[in-house]
Amino acid sequence: MDNEKKHARASWSGKWAFVLAGAGSAVGLGNMWRFPYLDAKYGGGTFLLVYLICVFTLGISLLLQDIALGRNAKKSVVGVFSRYGKKYSIIGIIAAAVPFIILPYYNIIGGWVAKYTAAYISAGPAALADGGNFFVGFIGGGLESYLWMILFAGIVMAVIFMGVKGGIERINLILMPLLILMAIGIAIFTMTIPGALDGVKYFFTPDFSKMSPELILAAIGQCFFSLSIAMAIMVTYGSYVKDEESLTGSTAQIVGFDLLVSVLAGLMIVPGAFAALGSAEAVAAKSGPGLMFITLPQVFEHMGGAAQVVGFLFFLLALFAAITSAISIAEACVSIVADGMKCSRKKAGVIISVYTLLMGCLINAGYNVLSFIQPLGEGSSLLDLADFLSNTVMMPVVCILTCLFVGFVMKPKTLVDEIRKSSEFKLAGAWTVMVKFVAPICVLVVLVAYIAMQFGLISF
C-alpha cells in the first residue's frame, strides 16, 4: 500500500500474485491451440525438443529482460526507453503499439471461444462438428459474433476496472489453479482413449529426420508468443513488482507454468487426434483458428458420450486462458495511456474500452460486411493482417531493438544489478551474451525468413 501511495503506481501484493498474473498472461490461446497444432505439424517429439531448447535459452532470458526492464523503470514501456534520451522513445512507441493491435483481435477470438463453450451446452457436440459450417455461419453471420466479442471484452475490462490487486490478482488466483486441474483431468482422459497411446508416443519421441529450418523458426516464434515477450506486457507487469521480490525465481516459475500447460494441451489434443483421425498430420493439415473451431470439435465427437463434457471443459479451459491473457494485454494498454496522458487508471480504462470496441467491430467486420478486404491474399482477413503485423513483424522488431538498447545503450549491467537487488544471479555472464548477441541475431534471422516466406521468396 505504501509503495502504491509513494509512486502512485500499483504493485502486486506479493510474489505469488505476480507469478500467477505473469503465468495468466503467458498461458493463453497460444498454449491451447497454437502449440498442439505446431507440434502435430512438425513431427511431435522433434518439435517438443526444439521448443524446450528455445524456451530455456532465448525465452527465459528475454522474459527476464522484459520483467527487469519494467521493475527498473517503474514505468510503462514508453518511459522505459525515453529515460535514456528522446531518440530512444521510438522503441517504446513501437513496443506500445503491439498490445494495441493485439487487444481487439484477441477479444474477437475470445468471443468465439465463449460462444463455443456455451454452444457445447445449448447446441450440443454434433452441431459443432459439422466440418466448418457452424463456424463460418457464426463469424460470417453478423450481429451474434459482435455480441460475443463485446461480452468477452466486457468481462476483461470489468476486471481491469477493479484494479491490479482487486481485479487482476484475484481473478488469476481463481482461474489459474482451476485451469491446471482441468487440463490435467482432460489430458488423462484423452490419453486413455483406445488408439491414443500412439499419439502420446508421437508427442514425446524425437525423429531427427523431421528436423527443418521451418520447424526451428516455428519453435522460436511460438516461444515468444507463448511467453508474451516483446509485447510491452511483461514490462508492464514487471513494473508492479516490488524491489524485494526475486525476479529470477518468478521468471522461472512463469516459464514453468507456461510449459506445463503447453505440454498438457499437447497431451489433450495430439493423442485424441490420433485416436480420432489416425494421425496427427490429419489434424495439422488445417492451421490457424480452423484447427480449434472446426477440427477439434470433430475430434471430440469421436469420443462418443463424453464429447459434450470434454468439449465443454476444453473450451471453458481455453476461455479462462484467453481471459487472463486478454487482461494482461488490456492492462498494458491502460498503463501506457495512464502514464502517457498522466491520467487516472479509470479514465485510461474508459479510453481503452471505447478503443477496443471500435477496433474490434472494424476487424470483426472483416468476416462479414467487409469480407471483400483480403489484405494478405485470397481468403485472408483483417484479423490475419493484425496478427501478421503484431506477431510476425513488430514483435521481432521490438525484441531486436530492446536487446540492442539493453546491450549497448543501457548496458546489461544495469539490469544485472536490478536483478541482484533481490536474488543471486549466477548466470549473469551467459545472460549478457544472450541478450547482447545471440538473441538479436536469432530473431533477425527469424524475422527475415518469415517475411520472405510470406511473400513467397523462399520456401522450405
437: Cβ contacts below 8 Å, ≥ 6 apart: 407
User: Which CB atom, from 224 or from 405, has the smaller least distance to ligand PHE?
Assistant: 224
Question: Which is nearest to 37 in space by CA: 310, 220, 212, 290?
Answer: 290
Interaction between residue 29 and ligand PHE (CB under 6 A): yes
DSSP state of 228: T
Q: Is 25 in the site for ligand PHE (CB under 6 A)?
A: yes
**Are the CB atoms for 244 and 77 separated by under 8 Å?**
no
Map residues 358-377 to x or -, x wherever contact with ligand PHE holds by CB under 6 A.
--------------------
Closer CB to ligand PHE, residue 28 or residue 407? 28
Among 61, 107, 190, 228, binds ligand PHE (CB under 6 A): 228
Residue 420 is placed in which grid cell? Answer: 541482484
Binding ligand PHE (rule: CB under 6 A), the pick from 26, 77, 219, 275 is 26
- Only one of the segments 24-32, 278-286, 365-373, 433-441 lies at the binding site for ligand PHE (rule: CB under 6 A); that segment is 24-32
| 82 forms part of the interface with ligand PHE (CB under 6 A) | no
Contacts of ligand PHE in 295-334 (CB under 6 A): 325, 328-329
Number of residues that bind ligand PHE (CB under 6 A): 15
Residue 28 binds to ligand PHE (criterion: CB under 6 A): yes
| E-assigned strand segments in 49-155 | none
- Cβ nearer to ligand PHE, comparing 31 with 432: 31
Q: What are phi and psi of 309, to 5 degrees?
A: -65, -50
The stretch among 228-236, 365-373, 407-415, 443-451 that binds ligand PHE (CB under 6 A) is 228-236
Q: Of these, 50, 233, 284, 447, which contacts ligand PHE (CB under 6 A)?
A: 233
Smallest separation (angstroms) from ligand PHE to the CB of 252:
17
Q: How far is the CB of 207 from ligand PHE (least distance, A)?
A: 26
Verify binding: residue 91, ligand PHE, rule CB under 6 A: no
Closest CB to ligand PHE among residues 35, 300: 35
Q: Which of residues 59-78 bind ligand PHE (CB under 6 A)?
A: none
- Closest listed residue to residue 23, CA positions, set 307, 218, 237: 237
Question: Can you say how many angstroms the Cα of residue 231 is from the centroid of all Cα atoms in its chain?
Answer: 10
Residue 231 touches ligand PHE, criterion: CB under 6 A: yes
Least Å distance, CB 326 to ligand PHE, is 8
- Cell triple for 122: 445449448
Of the candidates 396, 64, 386, 46, the residue with the CA atom closest to the CA atom of residue 220:
396
We find the least distance from the C-beta atom of residue 329 to ligand PHE, in angstroms, to be: 5
Choices 21-29, 276-284, 338-346, 442-450 (CB under 6 A): range interacting with ligand PHE: 21-29
d(CA 258, CA 125): 29
What amino acid occupies position 100? F
Interface segment toward ligand PHE; rule CB under 6 A; list 120-128, 148-156, 222-230, 274-282: 222-230
Residue 236 in the binding site for ligand PHE (CB under 6 A): no
Task: Decide if 203 contacts 436 (C-beta within 8 A).
Answer: no
CB of 224 to ligand PHE, least distance (A): 9
Binder of ligand PHE out of 22, 24, 30, 272 (CB under 6 A): 30
| Angle subtended by helix axes 345-365 and 89-122, to nearest 10 | 60
Nearer to ligand PHE, 28 or 272 (CB): 28
By CB under 6 A, tell whether 102 contacts ligand PHE.
yes
Near ligand PHE by CB under 6 A: residue from 46, 72, 226, 335: 226
Amino acid 414 reads T
How far apart CA 230 and CA 399 sit, in angstroms, is 5
Length of the chain: 460
- Please, which residue, 100 or 425, has the CB nearer to ligand PHE? 100
The C-alpha cell that represents 16 in the structure block: 505469488
Query: Minimal distance in Å, beta carbon 400 to ligand PHE?
Result: 18
Q: Which is nearer to ligand PHE, 29 or 299 (CB)?
A: 29
What is the C-alpha to C-alpha distance for residues 77 and 88, in angstroms, rounded to an integer?
11
* Ordered DSSP codes for 356-399: HHHHHHHHHHTTTTTTT--TTSTT--HHHHHHIIIIIIIHHHHH
Q: Is 239 in the site for ligand PHE (CB under 6 A)?
A: no
Which of 9, 19, 20, 31 is the binder for ligand PHE (CB under 6 A)?
31
**Cell of residue 10, nine digits:** 500499483
- Between the CA atoms of 428, 430, 433 and 436, what dihedral angle is there, to the nearest 10 degrees? -50
Closest C-alpha among 44, 23, 1, 53 to residue 261: 23
**37 close to 44: Cβ distance less than 8 angstroms:** no
Strand, helix or coil at 73? helix
**What residues line the site for ligand PHE (CB under 6 A)?**
25-26, 28-31, 102, 225-226, 228, 231, 233, 325, 328-329
